[in-house]
Amino acid sequence: MAISSIDCAAALNRWRGRPLAEKTLITAGFLILALALPPWPGAALVGAVMLAVTFGGARVPPRHWLSVAVLPLGFLATGALTLLVQLGPDGFALAPGGAAAAAGLALRSFAAVICLLFLSFTTPAADLLSGLRRLGVPSEIVEIALLTYRFVFLLGDEAVAMTHAQRARLGHSTRRRWLRSTAMVIANLLPRAMDRARRMETGLAARGWQGEMRVIDDRPAASGAVLALILVAQAGVAALGVML
């Protein structure tokens, strides 16, 4: 099955084998701090700590991280810039206090996104869904979510293969041919997707799928000392964010 670059990084980072509870506590705790503390210096401290944990602790490749983070961070930066201006009777003008509001929104949003990216780059989707199963979510829902997640990338690979085939046949040589080829890809992608889904269903039925795929889980249990250390670090960041 095709997997995304995020799943590749999540499967190869140094914290791949860490318990899910520890990584979830890091993400959830610092995410709450990013939203609750003042943007400066609270959210800035949260962002700095999470970047240090991501690159220094989990050893996530910076190039992979930037390739994924550029889109959400760019979207947040664009949204923050809109706070700098206001529309009045005389047209556009600088908003009073807009710079402070934009900076605060950017710091808080960037810190929150960095927290979520940490969990994405250190924990594969299969581990996250397994955690949901342990929390009591019905196994059928978890398995369907996992199959849907994987199928999205299969569908993307199918679209890329069709586009490459059209380009090899000079289907993109002119703008008119490019539009026609793109329309053909869109028109043929749904039937191909339905065919792949039907084959996946047949394969699962042939393997006796009853709503749950049982696999060996060799993840160690969460360490109480590590969880306590995480809570102490978060309490320290919270205290600094309030006092400074």
Instruction: Answer yes or no: do 68 and 187 share one domain.
Output: no
Q: Which amino acid is at 132?
A: L
Higher pLDDT, 244 or 1: 244
> Positive or negative CA dihedral for 144, 146, 152, 153?
negative
Same domain for 118 and 17: yes
Domain contains 58: yes
69-104 pLDDT, tens per residue? 888 888 888 877 777 777 766 666 676 777 788 788
- What CA–CA distance (Å, rounded) separates 47 from 40? 11
Let me know whether 119 and 232 are in one domain.
Answer: yes
Q: Are residues 140 and 106 in the same domain?
A: no
Q: State residue 97's pLDDT score.
A: 72
pLDDT category, 2, cuts 50, 70, 90?
Answer: very low
Q: How many domains does the chain have?
A: 2
Q: Are residues 145 and 185 in the same domain?
A: yes
Does some domain include residue 191? yes
Residues 80 and 181 in one domain: no
Task: Dump pLDDT digits (tens) for 22-35.
Answer: 888 888 888 898 88
Query: Do 93 and 194 reside in the same domain of the chain?
Result: no
Cα-based distances in Å from 237 to 26, 59, 234: 12, 22, 5
Q: Which of 126, 4, 19 is nearest to 67 (CA)?
A: 4
In a domain, 149, yes or no: yes
Domain that holds residue 195: 136-206
144/65 same-domain check: no
Same domain as 64, residue 103 = yes
Q: Which pLDDT tens digit goes with each residue over 117-160? A: 898 888 887 777 777 777 777 777 777 777 777 777 777 777 88
Does residue 108 share a domain with residue 9?
yes
Q: What is the DSSP letter of 82?
A: G
Q: What share of the chain is helix, strand, coil (3-state, %, to 5)?
A: 75, 5, 20
Q: Does residue 1 carry a pLDDT above 50?
A: no
Report how far Cα 218 is from the mean position of its chain's Cα atoms: 24
Same domain, 154 and 118: no
Which of the four pLDDT bands, split at 50, 70 and 90, describes residue 217?
A: low
Its pTM stands at 0.71
User: Residue 165 pLDDT more than 60?
Assistant: yes
Mean of pLDDT values over 167-182 = 82
